[in-house]
Amino acid sequence: MIEIVYKEEKKEARGNESFFQIPRNIRQIGEAKGNRRIYLEDYAYTFLRRQEDENRERGSAGILLGQHNWLDGAAYLFIRSAMVIGGMEVSPEHVSFTERIWEQVHETTEQYFKGQEILGWFLNLPEFSMEINEVILRAHLNHFGGNDKVLFLMEPTEKEEAFFTYDSGRLKRESGFYVYYEKNDAMQGYMIDGNANQSVEEPGPGKDRAVADFRRRVGEKQEERKKEQRGRHSAFYGLTASVAAATLILALSYTEAGERIGAFFNRITGRESVTEPDPASVSAAGDSILAVTETPELEKPSGETPAPGEEPIETPEPGTPSVTPAAETSSAPQASVREYTVKKGDTLSKICREHYGDLGRLDEICSLNQLDPDAVIYPGQKIVLPQS
């Protein structure tokens, strides 16, 4: 039974976390009941389903990672990531976690899932009866002991899957779990790198229709948000252009008035003959000057011999533009960025990780390019990256 459930709830955990958030959008698989709540993120679930499709003839195994909380006797497991163990031979009669395998797990965790804790493991066993045998139980107890660790068992032929938890000396099958949705750059990057840049969004055979529908709705909402952002940017640029235009008009008005006043001033001081200005403009300018100035102290006309000890005054030709010394000019600092051409399979998070080692500068890249962190980018597209 699959049911779409919507809830938003914040729980206070006593012991290992101050608060933890119950995901808002979740799907229920089977009947989730009892004192254990298992939440499996959609990207991790997609990866596990692919393990079923790609390993129908042979077994495979891997590690589940995420976060564990508990409250009032109930355990909450949030499985955010899953990694496959390469080169491990798995069968119902043979499951072995060697030292080399644990080194591989540690290296992959440090590269992709740093900060997440191991919550258990998964087994993909073709034509298996889904009954836990002694080999599987011993492997679980030796490497994943404790009530907070789980086993996710899959049988690809019949598409059967279930979580198992340790209880009273045996691995007990859980009746159901939840699939939830969140931004999961870590798992997305791991899937892209491990699948030769194949899309992690495209539903494969057997992909739940509800998952595809949900992803489509999320995409539509993201597109709506982008349109709203573009609208806000257009309004901002329009306002900026209006302010600039008004400033320019005001500056030109002051320049024109200054030229008229200068022409009138030269006229009354006898400096030079000027073209007759508009009478109304001269009258208005003259009234303004005479209203605030008594007999002005005039400069000596050009060509007049200066008094002893005085420096000759150079009168510039009318209309000669003023020159600012080069030392006084400055230009706005340019942002230290470089251009990057998007390649097939690139995402913003993958580009950030490849160029800077982690996702610490993802927000800066998104801000420079006015993109959401989960925006779709295309091969050949030009974006800018901050200098290292």
Per-residue pLDDT tens digits of the chain, which is 388 residues long: 344 343 434 444 444 444 678 888 899 999 888 888 999 999 999 999 998 888 888 889 999 999 999 887 788 999 999 999 988 889 999 999 999 999 999 999 999 999 999 999 999 999 999 999 999 999 999 999 887 899 999 999 888 999 999 988 899 999 999 999 988 999 999 998 886 444 444 444 444 544 555 556 656 666 776 777 777 666 666 676 666 666 666 655 555 555 665 565 556 555 544 444 455 544 454 454 344 444 444 444 444 444 454 444 444 444 444 444 333 334 444 458 899 999 988 888 889 888 988 888 999 999 999 898 878 888 889 999 998 7
> What is the Cα–Cα distance from 347 to 369, expressed in whole angstroms?
13
In the structure encoding, which two tokens stand for residue 136, read together?
């599987």
In the structure encoding, which two tokens stand for residue 199, read together?
């899309």
Task: Give me the phi and psi of 38, to 5 degrees please.
Answer: -110, 120
At 228 the three-state DSSP class reads helix
Alpha-helix residue ranges (DSSP H) falling in the chain? 42-54, 99-112, 134-143, 185-194, 209-269, 279-292, 348-356, 362-369
pLDDT digits (tens, 9 = 90+) for 161-176: 999 999 888 999 999 9
Q: Determine what percent of the chain falls in helix, strand and coil, rounding each to the nearest 5.
A: 35, 25, 40
In the structure encoding, which two tokens stand for residue 117, read together?
């804790």
Instruction: Judge contact between 80 and 116, C-beta under 8 A.
Output: yes
In the structure encoding, which two tokens stand for residue 152, read together?
């996710």
> Is the alpha carbon torsion for 34, 36, 40, 41 positive or negative?
positive
pLDDT of residue 130: 93
In the structure encoding, which two tokens stand for residue 168, read together?
């009273």
DSSP string, 95-159: ----HHHHHHHHHHHHHH-TTPEEEEEEEE-TT--S---HHHHHHHHHHS-STT-EEEEEETTTT
pLDDT of residue 15: 44
pLDDT of residue 258: 54
> What is the Cα–Cα distance from 152 to 167, expressed in whole angstroms?
15
The strand pairing partners of 339, in sequence order, are 384
A 10 A CB-CB count for 57 gives 9
pLDDT of residue 237: 63
User: Going by DSSP bridges, is the β-strand pair 160-167/150-155 parallel, antiparallel, or unpaired?
Assistant: antiparallel
At 172 the three-state DSSP class reads strand
> What is the Cα–Cα distance from 219 to 30, expressed in whole angstroms?
27
Kind plus residue range of the DSSP H or E element containing 40: strand 36-41
Residue type, 254: Y
Exposure string of 79-96, with b = 16+ CB inside 10 Å and e = fewer, is bbbbbbbeebebebeebe
Q: How far is CA 354 from CA 21, 184, 338, 377, in A?
A: 31, 17, 15, 16
